[in-house]
Amino acid sequence: MVKRRRKRYGVDEEGNKVDGGGKVVKKVKPEDVMGEGNQVEGEEGSADLLVYRGGTSGDFLVSLDESVEKSLEGEGEGDVAEDLRPRRKNFRMRAHCNVLADVSFPYPLSPDSINWEAHFPGSKESGKVVEYADVGCGYGGLLINLAKTFPSSLCLGMEIRDKVCRYVRQRIVSMRKEHDGLFNNASIVRSNAQKHISNFFHKGQLKALFFLFPDPQFKKKNHRRRIITLALLSEYAFVLQEGGRIYTATDVKELHDWMEEMLEAHPLFQRVSKEKENEHNLVHAILNSSEESSKVDRSGGSKYYNVFEKVTPTS
């Protein structure tokens, strides 16, 4: 029996589905990429302003409450006003996914396209912007810790797995309802930060980026998929302010050495001294707050970390 090879499809710059040769197989519909409610005037009259690409369910355009309510309705779990505390057993997924796969889901064209007020109530009036980002935030352990540690700052989790995102959204909304007035500074977006991080943050915006227990990508051919590479560090440096920090944590010594080597080789980063690295007790937080860190503790594994800061390159 001869096995037929499956055709590989991707997405072009316009969001159209294309085959391996770049031929358009299915054209994207205007409503699949248009945002709602934003109007611009043109020669043809009024038209919707393009604010995101890749699909119809951009979670950066609606509030967490709306997003959670839609999720609960879809699963038949009742009204959003009921007990929202999520249960991990209902949101299990594979630990990692292929970040370079041709998977298309919405992403903003620029940070200004995002409805930040929907994520952080009161942020529009205060003029605050996100200052701390947990990339690959998982089930939100560190994100919640950051929101407590920096109550006056906005903290954003970025996660590529849909089910995990829904869990964290529900967790945040639940905590907001249980602790009135608190945790309005925490939110999450579903995103592929390795491709689109500069679509979410302006130049020099962030005080810190966190990369906790990322996919080790053990095979040499997959090292290009790792979350820390020289090319990606340049992207991270763009969104970090001067003196902004990168925190990494892993239980895989080989991956730790790789990330350390990449950070030391990049001209825009230097290691933070032992005396200064644990400001705000963040080293303890990155090693103990996340669900992945708890798994390592239960298995008796070791944990390794790096703390580097952005610097001006010397001429």
Q: Which residues are annotated as a binding site for S-adenosyl-L-methionine?
A: 136, 159-160, 192-193, 212, 290-292
The set of catalytic residues is 215
DSSP state at residue 4: P
H-only helix segments in 154-304: 162-178, 193-196, 230-239, 253-265, 282-288, 291-299
CA 161 → CA 21, 53, 271, 277, 298, distances in Å?
28, 18, 31, 30, 24
From CA 174, how far away is CA 176, in angstroms rounded?
Answer: 5
Binding residues: 136, 159-160, 192-193, 212, 290-292
From CA 193, how far away is CA 175, in angstroms rounded?
Answer: 26
Q: Is 115 helix (H, G, I), strand (E, B) or coil?
A: coil
Report the Cα 252 to chain-centroid distance in Å.
22
From CA 258, how far away is CA 188, in angstroms rounded?
Answer: 28
Contact status, residue 163 vs residue 140, Cβ threshold 8 Å? no
Contact status, residue 186 vs residue 176, Cβ threshold 8 Å? no
